[in-house]
Every structure is written in structure tokens, then in C-alpha cells.
Structure 1
Amino acid sequence: MNELRNRAWRRFKNRINSGRGIGTDDCWKPEKNWKMVYLRSEKLSRARQLGFEYPRKDIRQLLDIELINGE
């Protein structure tokens, strides 16, 4: 069995065996600072996760929407 065990293989195995494997949730963390979320679609999905509406609407806008939908 002639396997190539170069530096990339050693780094991969070290990462797997170190407890920080590929399958853990440490690979991706959402942004904590709202200003750092750049795309509008990302802001919409993050706002949905956090449980508030984005973009924020004031009372006047909400009343206008209700009037349009009511007619």
C-alpha cells in the first residue's frame, strides 16, 4: 500500500483527531454585530431567527399598509 502522506494529509488528520473535526458547529458562526451583516437577504433571515421584523416600520407605515390591505 503506497499512500501519499504529505503535509496536507497530516494537517487534515490532525484536525480530525484534535476534537475540532469537520462535523462540528465551530466552522460557522453568525455575525454578532448587526452592522457587519452586509446583504439584505442575510439581514432578513437573521431578523427572522432573532424574532423581529426587518426593516423596522414606524406606526405611520403600518397604518398605511393596513389601509391598503383593508380596501
Structure 2
Amino acid sequence: MERTRAWRRCQAHKHSPEKAIRLMRFRPEKNWKLMYTRADKLFRARQLGMSYPIRSVRQLLDQE
């Protein structure tokens, strides 16, 4: 197998530590239980366009 400059560049990109750091830093939590603080949950809910905390119809009627 001939290892060309393109192969070396591809390997360097695939195994670069910057890529791993970038993925770890910006990976959002996939499970609400894993999000530790209320501020994180509110921020993520705002990103997703959800209302948090989730309130029942009865709670919403009582609030008004």
C-alpha cells in the first residue's frame, strides 16, 4: 500500500487531539438526568424551544 501525502494528512486529521477536545467541549447532554444544574436545563430547553419545567394543565390553570 502506497502511503501518499493525502493519506498522511487524512490520518493526521483523523487522530488529531484538537478534534477530540472539540467534540468533548460542545457535545450536548442527551439525557435530562445527566444535566446537573437547573440553569443548564433552562438553557437547553430554550435551545430546543421547550418550556421547562414541564407543567401540567392543572398547574397552568392554577397559575392564571
TM > 0.5: yes
What one-letter code is carried by the residue in structure 2 that aligns with 1:39? T
Q: Larger Rg: 1 or 2?
A: 1
| Percent identical residues | 50
> What is the number of equivalent residue pairs in this alignment?
48
TM-score (norm 1): 0.54
How far apart are residue 31 of structure 1 and its match?
Answer: 0.7
What one-letter code is carried by the residue in structure 2 that aligns with 1:34? W
How far apart are residue 64 of structure 1 and its match?
Answer: 1.4
For residues 65 and 33 of structure 1, the distance between their equivalents in structure 2, rounded to whole angstroms, comes to 28
Structure 1: gaps (5+ residues) = 1-17, 67-71
How far apart are residue 38 of structure 1 and its match?
Answer: 0.8
Partner of 2:7: none
Is 1:53 the counterpart of 2:17? The answer is no
CA RMSD of aligned residues (A): 2.1
Out of 39, 42, 49, the residue aligned to residue 41 of structure 1 is: 39
How far apart are residue 25 of structure 1 and its match?
Answer: 4.8
Partner of 2:27: 29
Structure 2: gaps (5+ residues) = 1-11
For residues 28 and 59 of structure 1, the distance between their equivalents in structure 2, rounded to whole angstroms, comes to 35
